Protein backbone atom coordinates (compact mmCIF):
# COMPACT_ATOMS: atom_id res chain seq x y z
CA UNK A 1 0.00 0.00 0.00
CA UNK A 2 1.34 3.46 -0.90
CA UNK A 3 2.06 6.06 1.79
CA UNK A 4 -1.02 8.21 1.09
CA UNK A 5 -3.36 5.22 1.24
CA UNK A 6 -1.69 3.99 4.44
CA UNK A 7 -2.31 7.32 6.16
CA UNK A 8 -6.02 7.21 5.31
CA UNK A 9 -6.33 3.53 6.20
CA UNK A 10 -4.67 3.99 9.59
CA UNK A 11 -6.79 7.03 10.41
CA UNK A 12 -10.00 5.17 9.56
CA UNK A 13 -8.87 2.18 11.62
CA UNK A 14 -8.35 4.51 14.59
CA UNK A 15 -11.80 6.16 14.39
CA UNK A 16 -14.06 4.03 12.21
CA UNK A 17 -15.67 1.84 14.88
CA UNK A 18 -16.90 4.89 16.78
CA UNK A 19 -19.14 5.88 13.86
CA UNK A 20 -22.81 4.84 13.82
CA UNK A 21 -25.77 5.11 11.50
CA UNK A 22 -28.67 6.97 13.14
CA UNK A 23 -32.25 6.03 12.31
CA UNK A 24 -34.90 8.62 13.15
CA UNK A 25 -38.24 6.97 13.99
CA UNK A 26 -41.69 8.50 13.74
CA UNK A 27 -44.61 7.98 16.13
CA UNK A 28 -45.37 4.63 14.44
CA UNK A 29 -41.76 3.44 14.94
CA UNK A 30 -41.10 3.71 11.22
CA UNK A 31 -37.78 5.04 9.95
CA UNK A 32 -38.39 8.61 8.78
CA UNK A 33 -34.77 9.58 8.13
CA UNK A 34 -31.17 8.55 8.61
CA UNK A 35 -27.86 10.20 9.33
CA UNK A 36 -24.53 9.59 11.03
CA UNK A 37 -23.02 10.10 14.46
CA UNK A 38 -20.06 9.06 16.59
CA UNK A 39 -19.44 8.14 20.21
CA UNK A 40 -17.42 10.66 22.21
CA UNK A 41 -17.78 9.19 25.72
CA UNK A 42 -17.53 5.72 27.22
CA UNK A 43 -21.02 6.00 28.73
CA UNK A 44 -22.75 6.05 25.37
CA UNK A 45 -23.05 9.74 24.45
CA UNK A 46 -22.63 10.58 20.79
CA UNK A 47 -22.57 13.65 18.57
CA UNK A 48 -24.77 14.14 15.53
CA UNK A 49 -26.56 17.04 13.82
CA UNK A 50 -29.70 18.66 15.12
CA UNK A 51 -31.31 18.34 11.69
CA UNK A 52 -30.71 14.57 11.77
CA UNK A 53 -32.84 14.14 14.91
CA UNK A 54 -35.36 16.90 14.13
CA UNK A 55 -38.99 15.78 14.70
CA UNK A 56 -37.94 12.27 15.67
CA UNK A 57 -40.05 10.43 18.26
CA UNK A 58 -37.35 7.83 18.94
CA UNK A 59 -33.96 6.82 17.59
CA UNK A 60 -31.88 3.76 16.82
CA UNK A 61 -28.13 3.64 16.40
CA UNK A 62 -26.57 0.99 14.16
CA UNK A 63 -23.01 0.08 15.12
CA UNK A 64 -20.22 -0.92 12.74
CA UNK A 65 -21.03 -4.62 13.23
CA UNK A 66 -24.71 -4.12 12.37
CA UNK A 67 -26.02 -4.36 15.93
CA UNK A 68 -28.90 -1.97 16.69
CA UNK A 69 -29.56 -0.16 19.97
CA UNK A 70 -32.17 2.41 21.04
CA UNK A 71 -31.08 5.95 21.83
CA UNK A 72 -32.64 8.99 23.47
CA UNK A 73 -32.10 12.68 22.77
CA UNK A 74 -29.95 14.18 25.53
CA UNK A 75 -30.02 17.72 24.14
CA UNK A 76 -29.62 19.81 21.01
CA UNK A 77 -28.67 23.26 19.77
CA UNK A 78 -30.49 23.86 16.45
CA UNK A 79 -28.62 27.17 15.96
CA UNK A 80 -25.30 25.32 15.76
CA UNK A 81 -26.85 22.15 14.26
CA UNK A 82 -25.46 19.97 17.06
CA UNK A 83 -27.36 17.26 18.95
CA UNK A 84 -26.32 14.72 21.58
CA UNK A 85 -27.85 11.25 21.79
CA UNK A 86 -27.46 8.73 24.61
CA UNK A 87 -27.38 5.13 23.39
CA UNK A 88 -27.73 1.95 25.43
CA UNK A 89 -25.01 0.30 23.34
CA UNK A 90 -21.95 -1.47 24.71
CA UNK A 91 -18.68 -2.75 23.23
CA UNK A 92 -18.17 0.32 21.05
CA UNK A 93 -15.16 2.49 20.27
CA UNK A 94 -14.94 6.05 21.56
CA UNK A 95 -13.57 8.61 19.13
CA UNK A 96 -10.53 10.64 20.13
CA UNK A 97 -11.31 14.36 19.88
CA UNK A 98 -8.70 16.62 18.37
CA UNK A 99 -8.15 20.39 18.34
CA UNK A 100 -9.24 22.51 15.40
CA UNK A 101 -6.54 25.06 16.28
CA UNK A 102 -3.97 22.59 14.92
CA UNK A 103 -5.63 22.45 11.50
CA UNK A 104 -3.96 24.14 8.54
CA UNK A 105 -5.43 25.06 5.17
CA UNK A 106 -4.48 22.33 2.72
CA UNK A 107 -4.26 19.64 5.40
CA UNK A 108 -5.64 16.17 4.70
CA UNK A 109 -9.02 15.40 6.32
CA UNK A 110 -11.26 12.35 6.08
CA UNK A 111 -15.03 11.99 6.44
CA UNK A 112 -16.73 8.81 7.65
CA UNK A 113 -20.49 8.37 7.44
CA UNK A 114 -23.49 6.74 5.85
CA UNK A 115 -24.31 8.69 2.67
CA UNK A 116 -27.53 7.61 0.99
CA UNK A 117 -27.62 4.55 3.24
CA UNK A 118 -24.19 3.20 2.27
CA UNK A 119 -22.86 2.43 5.73
CA UNK A 120 -19.32 3.37 6.80
CA UNK A 121 -18.34 5.20 3.62
CA UNK A 122 -14.95 6.95 3.64
CA UNK A 123 -14.04 10.04 1.60
CA UNK A 124 -10.94 12.20 1.77
CA UNK A 125 -10.02 15.77 0.88
CA UNK A 126 -8.31 18.85 2.25
CA UNK A 127 -9.16 21.79 4.49
CA UNK A 128 -10.21 24.59 2.13
CA UNK A 129 -10.84 27.33 4.73
CA UNK A 130 -11.28 27.81 8.47
CA UNK A 131 -13.61 29.90 10.63
CA UNK A 132 -16.34 30.14 7.99
CA UNK A 133 -19.93 31.29 8.64
CA UNK A 134 -22.85 29.81 6.70
CA UNK A 135 -26.61 30.28 6.68
CA UNK A 136 -28.60 27.08 7.03
CA UNK A 137 -31.89 26.32 5.29
CA UNK A 138 -33.79 28.09 8.08
CA UNK A 139 -31.81 31.30 7.67
CA UNK A 140 -29.81 30.83 10.87
CA UNK A 141 -26.06 31.49 10.82
CA UNK A 142 -23.78 28.59 11.78
CA UNK A 143 -20.36 29.85 12.83
CA UNK A 144 -16.84 28.44 13.14
CA UNK A 145 -17.17 26.02 10.23
CA UNK A 146 -14.38 24.07 8.55
CA UNK A 147 -14.72 24.20 4.77
CA UNK A 148 -13.43 21.12 2.93
CA UNK A 149 -13.61 19.53 -0.49
CA UNK A 150 -14.26 16.13 1.11
CA UNK A 151 -17.24 14.60 -0.70
CA UNK A 152 -20.39 14.63 1.44
CA UNK A 153 -23.88 13.44 0.56
CA UNK A 154 -27.22 13.19 2.41
CA UNK A 155 -26.62 10.72 5.24
CA UNK A 156 -23.09 11.98 5.99
CA UNK A 157 -24.62 14.58 8.32
CA UNK A 158 -23.45 14.15 11.91
CA UNK A 159 -20.49 11.94 11.08
CA UNK A 160 -16.91 12.79 12.03
CA UNK A 161 -14.33 14.71 10.07
CA UNK A 162 -10.96 13.30 11.17
CA UNK A 163 -7.31 14.21 10.72
CA UNK A 164 -4.48 11.90 9.69
CA UNK A 165 -4.15 10.65 13.29
CA UNK A 166 -7.79 9.59 13.42
CA UNK A 167 -8.74 12.44 15.78
CA UNK A 168 -12.12 14.09 15.23
CA UNK A 169 -11.72 17.74 14.22
CA UNK A 170 -15.27 18.40 13.03
CA UNK A 171 -18.87 17.23 12.81
CA UNK A 172 -19.94 17.07 9.16
CA UNK A 173 -23.03 19.19 8.60
CA UNK A 174 -23.65 20.54 5.10
CA UNK A 175 -22.78 20.71 1.45
CA UNK A 176 -23.79 23.35 -1.06
CA UNK A 177 -26.39 21.87 -3.40
CA UNK A 178 -25.35 22.12 -7.04
CA UNK A 179 -21.73 22.88 -6.18
CA UNK A 180 -18.73 20.58 -6.15
CA UNK A 181 -16.17 20.54 -3.37
CA UNK A 182 -18.02 22.94 -1.05
CA UNK A 183 -18.66 21.00 2.14
CA UNK A 184 -18.67 22.07 5.77
CA UNK A 185 -18.09 20.66 9.25
CA UNK A 186 -18.72 22.19 12.67
CA UNK A 187 -15.51 22.67 14.62
CA UNK A 188 -15.09 19.97 17.29
CA UNK A 189 -14.04 22.73 19.72
CA UNK A 190 -17.44 24.36 19.22
CA UNK A 191 -19.20 20.99 19.54
CA UNK A 192 -17.44 20.34 22.86
CA UNK A 193 -18.49 23.74 24.23
CA UNK A 194 -22.09 23.06 23.21
CA UNK A 195 -21.99 19.62 24.85
CA UNK A 196 -20.74 21.15 28.11
CA UNK A 197 -23.55 23.73 28.07
CA UNK A 198 -26.22 21.14 27.30
CA UNK A 199 -25.06 18.77 30.03
CA UNK A 200 -24.73 21.52 32.65
CA UNK A 201 -27.72 23.74 31.86
CA UNK A 202 -29.93 21.70 29.54
CA UNK A 203 -29.72 24.40 26.85
CA UNK A 204 -27.14 26.57 25.15
CA UNK A 205 -27.05 30.31 25.82
CA UNK A 206 -24.67 32.21 23.54
CA UNK A 207 -23.92 35.83 22.91
CA UNK A 208 -24.71 37.08 19.41
CA UNK A 209 -23.04 39.83 17.40
CA UNK A 210 -24.50 39.37 13.92
CA UNK A 211 -21.39 38.96 11.76
CA UNK A 212 -20.36 36.50 9.07
CA UNK A 213 -16.71 35.54 9.45
CA UNK A 214 -13.71 33.92 7.82
CA UNK A 215 -10.39 33.20 9.51
CA UNK A 216 -7.45 34.84 7.71
CA UNK A 217 -3.71 35.05 8.20
CA UNK A 218 -2.13 38.44 8.89
CA UNK A 219 0.94 39.29 6.85
CA UNK A 220 4.07 40.07 8.91
CA UNK A 221 4.35 43.60 7.45
CA UNK A 222 0.86 44.52 8.72
CA UNK A 223 1.45 42.91 12.11
CA UNK A 224 4.67 44.90 12.54
CA UNK A 225 3.17 48.19 11.39
CA UNK A 226 0.18 47.91 13.73
CA UNK A 227 2.15 46.23 16.58
CA UNK A 228 -0.14 43.19 16.63
CA UNK A 229 0.63 39.88 18.28
CA UNK A 230 -1.97 38.03 16.18
CA UNK A 231 -0.80 35.63 13.49
CA UNK A 232 -4.39 35.28 12.28
CA UNK A 233 -7.68 37.11 12.82
CA UNK A 234 -11.34 37.13 11.72
CA UNK A 235 -12.33 38.86 8.50
CA UNK A 236 -15.94 40.12 8.51
CA UNK A 237 -17.66 39.06 5.29
CA UNK A 238 -21.10 40.35 6.29
CA UNK A 239 -22.90 42.34 8.99
CA UNK A 240 -26.59 41.71 9.67
CA UNK A 241 -28.84 44.75 9.72
CA UNK A 242 -29.94 46.05 13.14
CA UNK A 243 -27.62 43.56 14.86
CA UNK A 244 -25.31 44.39 17.79
CA UNK A 245 -22.43 44.49 15.31
CA UNK A 246 -24.25 46.95 13.04
CA UNK A 247 -25.17 49.18 15.99
CA UNK A 248 -21.54 49.14 17.12
CA UNK A 249 -20.35 50.34 13.72
CA UNK A 250 -18.71 47.14 12.47
CA UNK A 251 -18.47 46.94 8.68
CA UNK A 252 -17.84 44.39 5.95
CA UNK A 253 -14.09 44.08 5.50
CA UNK A 254 -13.20 44.84 9.12
CA UNK A 255 -10.80 42.36 10.71
CA UNK A 256 -11.41 41.45 14.35
CA UNK A 257 -8.14 41.11 16.28
CA UNK A 258 -9.19 41.26 19.95
CA UNK A 259 -12.15 41.09 22.32
CA UNK A 260 -11.75 42.80 25.70
CA UNK A 261 -7.96 42.74 25.17
CA UNK A 262 -7.95 38.97 24.54
CA UNK A 263 -6.35 38.01 21.23
CA UNK A 264 -8.85 36.69 18.68
CA UNK A 265 -7.15 34.48 16.13
CA UNK A 266 -9.94 31.93 15.49
CA UNK A 267 -13.74 31.90 15.44
CA UNK A 268 -13.60 29.42 18.31
CA UNK A 269 -11.71 31.98 20.43
CA UNK A 270 -14.38 34.61 19.78
CA UNK A 271 -17.27 32.27 20.60
CA UNK A 272 -15.61 31.23 23.85
CA UNK A 273 -15.67 34.90 24.82
CA UNK A 274 -19.36 35.27 23.89
CA UNK A 275 -20.62 33.32 26.91
CA UNK A 276 -23.79 33.95 28.90
CA UNK A 277 -22.04 36.42 31.25
CA UNK A 278 -21.30 38.80 28.35
CA UNK A 279 -24.92 39.13 27.21
CA UNK A 280 -26.33 42.63 27.71
CA UNK A 281 -23.00 44.05 28.88
CA UNK A 282 -20.71 46.49 27.05
CA UNK A 283 -17.72 44.72 25.50
CA UNK A 284 -14.79 46.06 23.48
CA UNK A 285 -13.68 44.87 20.05
CA UNK A 286 -10.52 45.93 18.27
CA UNK A 287 -10.62 45.76 14.49
CA UNK A 288 -8.35 46.62 11.59
CA UNK A 289 -9.95 49.06 9.13
CA UNK A 290 -8.04 50.88 6.39
CA UNK A 291 -4.73 49.76 7.94
CA UNK A 292 -5.64 51.27 11.31
CA UNK A 293 -6.69 49.66 14.58
CA UNK A 294 -10.03 50.90 15.90
CA UNK A 295 -11.71 50.09 19.21
CA UNK A 296 -15.50 49.71 19.10
CA UNK A 297 -17.99 49.07 21.88
CA UNK A 298 -20.53 46.30 21.30
CA UNK A 299 -23.32 44.82 23.43
CA UNK A 300 -23.98 41.13 22.65
CA UNK A 301 -27.56 39.84 22.90
CA UNK A 302 -28.72 36.28 23.39
CA UNK A 303 -28.57 34.57 20.01
CA UNK A 304 -32.01 32.99 20.13
CA UNK A 305 -33.59 36.28 21.19
CA UNK A 306 -32.01 37.90 18.16
- Whichever domain contains 68, its CATH number is 2.40.10.10
Residue 304 is predicted with a pLDDT of: 64
Q: Are residues 131 and 148 in the same domain?
A: yes
pTM of the model: 0.84
Catalytic, out of 77, 79, 81, 143: 81
| Structural domains counted in the chain | 3
CATH code of residue 227: 2.30.42.10
The answer as to whether 94 is a domain residue is no
Examine the residue annotation and report whether 290 is marked as an active-site residue of this protein: no
The answer as to whether 92 is a domain residue is no
**Whether the Cβ atoms of residue 96 and residue 87 lie closer than 8 Å to each other:** no
Residue finishing a domain among 37, 60, 87: 87
Residue 99 is predicted with a pLDDT of: 94
Place 1 in a pLDDT band, splitting at 50, 70 and 90. Answer: confident
Q: Which residue has the higher pLDDT, 118 or 96?
A: 96
Q: Are residues 16 and 40 in the same domain?
A: yes
Q: Are residues 189 and 104 in the same domain?
A: yes
Point out the least confidently predicted range of 35-39, 156-160, 270-274.
270-274
Catalytic, out of 128, 133, 157, 232: 157
Residue 139 is predicted with a pLDDT of: 66
Examine the residue annotation and report whether 157 is marked as an active-site residue of this protein: yes
Distances (CA, A) of 259 to 81, 130, 201, 249: 25, 19, 25, 15
Q: Are residues 192 and 104 in the same domain?
A: yes
Examine the residue annotation and report whether 252 is marked as an active-site residue of this protein: no
What's the domain range around 132?
A: 100-201
Q: Are residues 49 and 111 in the same domain?
A: no
**Alpha-carbon gap, residue 39 to 45, rounded angstroms:** 6
Average pLDDT over residues 136-143: 72
Residue finishing a domain among 201, 230, 255: 201
DSSP the chain: --HHHHHHHHHHHHHGGGEEEEEEE-TTS-EEEEEEEEE-STTSEEEE-HHHHTT-SEEEEE-TTS-EEEEEEEEEETTTTEEEEEE---S-PPPPB--GGG--TT-EEEEEE-GGG-TTEEEEEEEEEEEEEEE-TTSPEEEEEEEE-----TT-TTPEEE-TTS-EEEEEEEE-TT-SS-EEEEEHHHHHHHHHHHHHHSS---EE--EEEEEEEPPHHHHHHHT---SEEEEEEEE-TTSHHHHHT--TT-EEEEETTEE--SHHHHHHHS-GGGTTS-EEEEEEETTEEEEEEE--EETTT-
Q: Are residues 104 and 192 in the same domain?
A: yes
Give me the chain's average pLDDT, please: 91
N-to-C CA span, the chain: 53
Catalytic, out of 36, 50, 51, 258: 51
Residue finishing a domain among 176, 201, 226: 201
What is the length of the chain?
306
pLDDT at 17 over 60: yes
Amino acid sequence: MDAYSSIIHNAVEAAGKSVVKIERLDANRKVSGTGSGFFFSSDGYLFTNSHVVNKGSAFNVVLHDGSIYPATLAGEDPDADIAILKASAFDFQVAQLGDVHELKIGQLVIAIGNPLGFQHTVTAGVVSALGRSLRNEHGMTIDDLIQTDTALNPGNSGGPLINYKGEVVGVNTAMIQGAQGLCFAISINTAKMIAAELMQYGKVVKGYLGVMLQQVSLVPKLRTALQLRNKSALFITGVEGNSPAAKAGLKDGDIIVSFNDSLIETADALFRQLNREKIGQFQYLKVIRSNQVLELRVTPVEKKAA
